[in-house]
């Protein structure tokens, strides 16, 4: 029996014994696919069901899924008037939270998560962040099931112009960065990362070339970030693979919404 106020998941009724957990992956941008997540999911025996974010066949709820990933894209959280289907992604994030299913929002996905749960996303006042970023774990992440098992410092690729300026009131800040502070946060069973743990050097280079075509005046500085990414890729891949693995290990677990939260965030009784 489900706790009061929580949607009953149909996951157990629809999955056969020993069947790999399925994760719905919403892809807002054709150039922003799962990339390295595919191999990491295969390693953990997870099935990724990748759907374009704007496709009519994108499920309206998470029936039959063990979790949700919302990837990045060139559009912004504030572009809902131009891309009305962004609201559908916010609704899926709400569905994951209400069912206490693990959800991971990456870059745009993290921004959608922040706005869906009451935070604020604006144009970044410190400029465009692209290249390798150093992620520093916060003290409140010590017992978090994803970030608590990561090193205090890790590296990842990043590319974004908008930034999460205000976290949802019930969010826990898990990691910060030098340019923008809200690099990773958590709301219940949902985790958001402003950086791109999934991106490989090859995919990052394609993004840079697209960015250079859009902004030729800054093309040289964008291209300068490619060698650094290649140089640090062993460290990047190691830390990001661990992050993804920690997320995948949560699939199918129960009562994860409060696991590892600071005491100030543990409300008594069911949500």
pLDDT computed for residue 117 by the predictor: 98
- Which residues does 160 contact at the CB level (< 8 Å), separation at least 6? 72, 107, 108, 124, 128, 129, 130, 194
What residue segments make up the domains of the chain, in order of their start?
18-252
**Interval 3-23 mean pLDDT:** 59
**Interval 247-259 mean pLDDT:** 87
CB atoms within 10 A of CB 136: 17
CATH class given for the domain over 18-252: alpha beta
Give percent of the chain with pLDDT exceeding 90.
79
pLDDT computed for residue 15 by the predictor: 53
Dump strand ranges (E) for the chain.
22-27, 47-52, 67-70, 103-106, 120-123, 129-137, 153-160, 162-166, 172-176, 184-187, 190-193
Give percent of the chain with pLDDT exceeding 70.
90
**Interval 171-189 mean pLDDT:** 96
pLDDT tens sequence across 113-130: 999 999 999 998 888 899
pTM above 0.85, yes or no: yes
pLDDT band per the 50, 70, 90 thresholds, residue 68: very high
CB atoms within 10 A of CB 173: 16
pLDDT computed for residue 264 by the predictor: 59
Contact 72, 95 (CB under 8 A): no
Just list the catalytic residues.
107, 196, 198
Query: Is the pLDDT at 3 greater than 50, yes or no?
Result: no
């Amino acid at each position: 029996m489900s706790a009061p106020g929580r949607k009953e998941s149909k996951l157990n009724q629809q999955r056969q014994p020993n069947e790999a957990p399925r994760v719905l992956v919403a892809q807002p941008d054709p150039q922003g696919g799962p990339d390295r997540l595919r191999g990491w999911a295969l390693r953990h025996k997870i099935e990724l069901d990748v759907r374009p974010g704007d496709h009519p066949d994108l499920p309206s709820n998470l029936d039959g899924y063990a979790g949700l990933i919302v990837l990045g894209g060139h559009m912004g959280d504030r572009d809902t008037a131009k891309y009305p289907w962004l609201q559908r992604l916010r609704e899926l994030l709400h569905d994951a939270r209400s069912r206490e299913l693990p959800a991971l929002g990456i870059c745009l996905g993290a921004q959608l998560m922040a706005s869906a749960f009451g935070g604020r996303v604006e144009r970044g006042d410190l400029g465009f962040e692209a290249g390798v970023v150093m992620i520093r774990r916060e003290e409140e992440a010590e017992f978090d099931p994803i970030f608590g098992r990561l090193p205090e410092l890790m590296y990842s690729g990043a590319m974004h112009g908008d930034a999460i300026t205000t976290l949802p009131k019930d969010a826990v800040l898990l990691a910060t960065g030098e340019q923008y502070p809200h690099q990773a946060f958590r709301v219940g069973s949902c985790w958001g990362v402003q950086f791109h743990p999934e991106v490989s050097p090859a995919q990052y280079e394609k993004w840079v070339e697209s960015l250079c075509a859009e902004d030729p005046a800054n093309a040289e500085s964008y291209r300068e970030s490619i060698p650094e990414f290649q140089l640090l890729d062993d460290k990047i891949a190691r830390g990001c693979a661990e992050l993804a693995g920690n997320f995948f290990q949560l699939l199918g677990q129960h009562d994860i919404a409060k696991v590892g939260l600071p005491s100030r965030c543990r409300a008594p009784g069911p949500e």
